[in-house]
Every structure is written in C-alpha cells, then in structure tokens.
C-alpha cells in the first residue's frame, strides 16, 4: 500500500504525490559522465552545447518529463572534484536558457552539493536543489534551501561511511539529513529522499535497497529513485556497457514504483515514460478505458 502524502507546492510549481510517478530527465553538462550522455563530450564550443541541451530538454518535456535535472560535475566513482568557477560556467548559462524556453510549469533542478552553485542556479531559474551529499558537504546549503523555500532532494551517500546493514544505514543517514534540513528551516513538505543507489554501495547492497525500497516510506517523505544505466545493472546483465542497460533500467523503474518511488530520474525519458505509465496503471490504478 502506497502512503498518501500532501502535495509539495512552492512558487508557481506543484508536485502531487501518489497520483502518478513523476519523471526527471537528466542533463549532464559534463565530458565524463559515467553513462556516456555528457553534453560536453568531445569538447564542443559552449554555444553548440547549449543548442544541444535545449533540444534534449525540450524533447524530454515533450516525452512527459515534469522535471529536468542539470548537473555540471561528474559523480562517477573516483571522480575529480570540479572547481567552483568551472561548474558555474557549465550550468548557469544552460539553466538560464532552459528557464527562458521551457514551459513555465517545468521544474528545473540543479544537481550540486555546492551552495554557491545552487544559489546562482536558483537566481538563473532553477526551482529545486538535488544534493548528492544531503546537506552534509556544504554547511550553507541547508540555510539556502530554507531561505529560498525550494524543495531539496536529500541523497544518501555512503562514500566514506562505515556500513553495517545497508537499509538501516541509509535510513539513519537520511533521517540525520532530514534533521539538518528541519533545523535550518526547510519545510517538511519540501524534503524529498533518494536512497543513493551506487553511491558508496556494492551491487549486492544496491539490489537489497531496491528490494526493500518500501521501508524508506517510514521516513514520511517522497522517494526519488535514480537507477538509470547504473553499474549494478551492467553487472547483473553480464557486464553490459551503459548504452545497453535500457531493459535493466526499465526493470528497476517498474519495481521501484511498486515499492513506492514517487520520482524516477532517468536518461531515456521516452522509453521510461512508457514504463512509468504501465506501472502506474497497475500500481496506482491511473488508466481508464476511454484513454487512447
């Protein structure tokens, strides 16, 4: 049984929970994304990259995405941290462009753990923060989210943390970050949780998290699931490269929705939107016979 949560509203935006699964399309402004979809791959000029990113984001929206997540720093294992100035150079012009051209109801999310990047992204038109360190890396991030009144995605990141039992570990991590958010003044209704598949977790732990994802519902907040093209899928399917992990991703999305995922963060929006619609028809009883 899926829990009923109150809607998250802020500014002109609204996310209703439980009625359908929201799809977040990924825009990687990087040359070294693990998934091979980085917009900057091959070293194109910035203006050419912006043309491509607008085309990609617009296609995502046309295909059904309600959120667009823009990131400038690779978070693959053993990644090299990006200087602040370079991250800003990659993402701020893109967010400005998307905010100007995408429909006003589309939610633009900034994927960063740096408060200054988030601050400038919000000023440029972003309306959500997606923090892979769940407010624990930059002490100013929680206060910024509270001040701007935007939703914040808190992702469990087990890199460098001692683990004992992965579901309990992730639950404790997220509970601690929820406390940080609330103490800073972030509204309860604007907190979203991400179990952090692949961030300091083994393939076996990732499968356990997916199998028991529903247990995170006890924390009382919506769940964002990001499994798209992850290495665990490649390992399970015989060491397939990211470009061949579509069906495996589809399985994790469908089963994640059955376990209570509210948002799925994906690279392949068109295909995953079909998976979401079919899953929602079964799990959430969204389909009606009159629909074509």
Q: How far apart are CA 53 and CA 109, in angstroms?
A: 14
CA-to-CA distance for 254 and 276, rounded, in angstroms?
A: 7
CA dihedral 76, 153, 25, 66 (to 10 degrees): 180
Q: What is the DSSP annotation of 77-89?
A: TTPPPPPHHHHHH
CB 223 within 8 A of CB 170: no
**Annotation marks residue 183 as catalytic:** no
Per-residue model confidence as pLDDT tens digits over 162-182: 999 999 999 999 999 999 999
Taking residue 83's Cβ as centre, other Cβ atoms within 10 Å add up to: 10
CA distance 82 to 209: 29
CB 3 within 8 A of CB 244: no
Q: What are the φ and ψ backbone dihedral angles of 222, each rounded to 5 degrees?
A: -60, 155
Q: Which of 90, 148, 221, 230 is catalytic?
A: 230
Q: CA of 250: how far to CAs of 79, 192, 255, 266, in Å?
A: 26, 22, 9, 10
Q: Where are the beta strands (DSSP E) in 72-225?
A: 107-111, 128-131, 152-155, 191-194, 224-225
Structural domains of the chain, with CATH: 19-283 (3.20.20.20)
Catalytic residue among 41, 265, 274, 284: 265
- Per-residue pLDDT, 1: 45
Q: What does the pLDDT read at residue 34?
A: 46
**Angle (deg, nearest 10), helices 166-184 and 203-211:** 70
Residue in 172, 232, 221, 165 with CA at minimum distance from that of residue 199: 232
What is the pLDDT at residue 161?
94
CA 107-251-231 angle, to 5 degrees, is 80
Angle subtended at Cα 91 by Cα 86 and Cα 96, rounded to the nearest 5 degrees: 135
For residue 235, the Cα-to-chain-centroid distance in whole angstroms is: 22
pLDDT of 2 reads 53
- Residue 211 contacts by C-beta under 8 Å, 6 or more apart in sequence? none
Per the annotation, the verdict on 274 as an active-site residue is no
Kindly give, in sequence order, each residue whose CB lies less than 8 Å from that of residue 234, ignoring residues fewer than 6 positions away. 240, 241, 242, 244, 245, 248
Q: What is the mean pLDDT of each run of 10 residues along the chain (292 residues)?
A: 81 97 96 52 59 95 98 81 94 97 98 98 98 97 98 97 97 98 98 98 98 98 98 98 97 98 98 98 89 54
What pLDDT score was predicted for residue 44? 46
Distance (Å, whole) CA 27 – CA 159: 23
- Tell me whether strands 152-155 and 191-194 are parallel, antiparallel or unpaired: parallel
Q: What pLDDT does residue 35 have?
A: 43
Q: How many CA atoms lie less than 13 Å away from 12 in the CB half-sphere?
A: 8
The predicted structure's pLDDT at residue 108: 98
Task: Render pLDDT for 111-131 as a digit per residue (tens, 0 to 9).
Answer: 999 999 999 999 999 999 999
pTM of the model: 0.93
Beta strands 152-155 and 128-131 are parallel
State the Cα–Cα distance between residues 174 and 279, nearest whole angstrom. Answer: 26
């Amino acid at each position: 049984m899926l829990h009923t949560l109150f809607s998250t509203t802020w500014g002109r935006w609204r996310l209703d929970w439980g009625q359908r699964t929201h799809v977040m399309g990924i825009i990687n402004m990087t040359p070294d994304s693990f998934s091979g979809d980085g917009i900057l791959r091959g070293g194109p000029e910035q203006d050419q990259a912006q043309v491509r990113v607008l085309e990609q984001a617009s296609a995502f929206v046309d295909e059904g995405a309600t959120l667009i997540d823009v990131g400038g720093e690779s978070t693959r294992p053993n990644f090299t941290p990006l200087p602040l100035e370079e991250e800003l150079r990659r993402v701020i012009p893109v967010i400005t462009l998307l905010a100007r051209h995408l429909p006003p109801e589309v939610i633009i999310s900034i994927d960063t753990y740096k408060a200054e990047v988030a601050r400038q992204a919000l000023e440029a038109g972003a309306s959500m923060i997606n923090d892979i360190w769940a407010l624990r890396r930059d002490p100013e991030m929680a206060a910024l989210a509270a001040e701007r009144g935007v939703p914040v995605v808190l992702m469990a990141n087990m890199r460098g943390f001692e683990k004992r039992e992965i579901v309990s570990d992730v639950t404790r991590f997220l509970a601690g970050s929820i406390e940080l958010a609330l103490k800073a003044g972030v509204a309860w209704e604007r907190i979203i949780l991400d179990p952090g598949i692949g961030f300091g977790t083994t393939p076996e732990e990732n499968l356990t998290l997916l199998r028991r994802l529903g247990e995170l519902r006890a924390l009382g907040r919506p769940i964002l699931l990001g499994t798209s093209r992850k290495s665990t899928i490649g390992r399970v399917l015989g060491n397939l490269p990211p470009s061949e992990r579509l069906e495996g991703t589809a399985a994790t999305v469908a089963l994640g929705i059955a376990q209570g995922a509210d948002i799925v963060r994906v690279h392949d929006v068109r295909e995953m939107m079909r998976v979401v619609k079919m899953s929602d028809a079964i799990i959430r009883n969204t389909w009606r016979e009159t629909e074509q």
